[in-house]
Amino acid sequence: MLLVLVAGNGCNRNPGAEKKKIAVIISTLNNPWFVVLAETAASEAQALGYEAKIFDSQNNTALETDHFENALASGYNAILFNPTDADGSVVNVLKAKAAEVPVFCMDREVNAADATTSQILSDSYSGCVALGKYFVQTLNKKGQYVELLGLVGDNNTWSRSKGFHSVVDNYPDLKMVAQQNADFDRNKAMEVLESILQAHPDINAVFCGNDAMAMGAYQAIIAAGIADKVKVFGFDGADDVVASINSGKIIATGMQFPKVMAKTAATFADEYFKGKRDFPKKMPVAVEMVSGKNVAYYVSPTKD
């Protein structure tokens, strides 16, 4: 489903010439973080003088396939892409490649090194190594915890989990009593944790693969009356979680920079149109940990 239409209003660098068109195909707009990613990519493309249109795949690879087919049939010249599935999305990228339409992945990757023109990705593993160290410190190296995973078909899910466990698993008195996916979804995370709490009411912490799930987990522990006993960790740097860290409700998150990734993807498309071809296959974007110690910096209205 097409949810947002953005007409290009940036400067036209070739007056009289038809503007090139850029499709922004996003895994889901049912998450404020991805809305920022999509709208920044589209607005940056506009600013560079192109038309841009946002397509919402609603975390459905079949719908994503429809968007690719529509974009290619409609003459889009480049695709800024946030995949629904690292493996399932490869076929869509290959269709674009066959049509000589460059694809620039943002935040999420596909498992095909030569299919995309470039992939601009958060360094999720390193970000979760830092979160894992803070998790160990905060829990004094002992306790019971739950891990909520994101989409099992997304590489970010496993990069974050592996980074976290590369640290936490070295402490035998930290015991994971449950690990379950909640698809990066707030409501599902709340429901999953409510169910887990019935069997494990004495947990000390919840590690969540994104901030939407962290907010859902926090709702669950409030409903259970144990919000003062359970420490919640997220990943993304979403505004509501940063505000919750500032008020002491959430312990920490990994700050990603969707605007950096979106602007880089749009800039790469501009450079491609101008003849550049030697793009990095993968471009990591650093993640910064946000906790009560430094949250004041991130709640600043000047923080991008």
Per-domain residue ranges of the chain: 21-121+258-284, 124-256+291-297
Give the pTM: 0.81
pLDDT band at 261 (very low <50, low <70, confident <90, very high): very high
- Predicted local distance difference test score (pLDDT) of residue 242: 96
**Quick check: do 21-121+258-284 and 124-256+291-297 share a fold?**
yes
Which residues are within 8 A (CB) of 148 and not within 5 positions of it... i.e. 6 or more apart?
Answer: 180, 181, 182, 189, 192, 193, 206, 207, 208, 209, 213, 217
Which residues are within 8 A (CB) of 171 and not within 5 positions of it... i.e. 6 or more apart?
Answer: 136, 141, 142
- Sheet with strand 252-255: strands edge to edge: 174-181, 143-149, 205-208, 231-233, 252-255, 288-291
Other Cβ atoms closer than 10 A to 237: 24
Q: Which of 1.10.10.10, 3.40.50.2300, 1.10.10.60, 1.20.1250.20 would CATH assign to domain 21-121+258-284?
A: 3.40.50.2300
Of 9-23, 63-77, 115-129, 289-303, the range with the lowest mean pLDDT is 9-23
CATH superfamily, with its number, for domain 124-256+291-297: Response regulator (3.40.50.2300)
Which residues are within 8 A (CB) of 14 and not within 5 positions of it... i.e. 6 or more apart?
Answer: 49
Name the helix (H) or strand (E) containing 283: strand 282-285
Q: How far is CA 129 from CA 141, 147, 274, 277, in A?
A: 15, 15, 39, 34
How far, in Å, CA of 163 to CA of 167, rounded? Answer: 7
- Predicted local distance difference test score (pLDDT) of residue 181: 97
- State residue 96 phi and psi, 5-degree precision: -65, -40
- Predicted local distance difference test score (pLDDT) of residue 11: 40
How far, in Å, CA of 303 to CA of 206, rounded? Answer: 27
Give residue-wise pLDDT tens across range 36-58.
999 999 999 999 999 999 999 99
Other Cβ atoms closer than 10 A to 84: 26
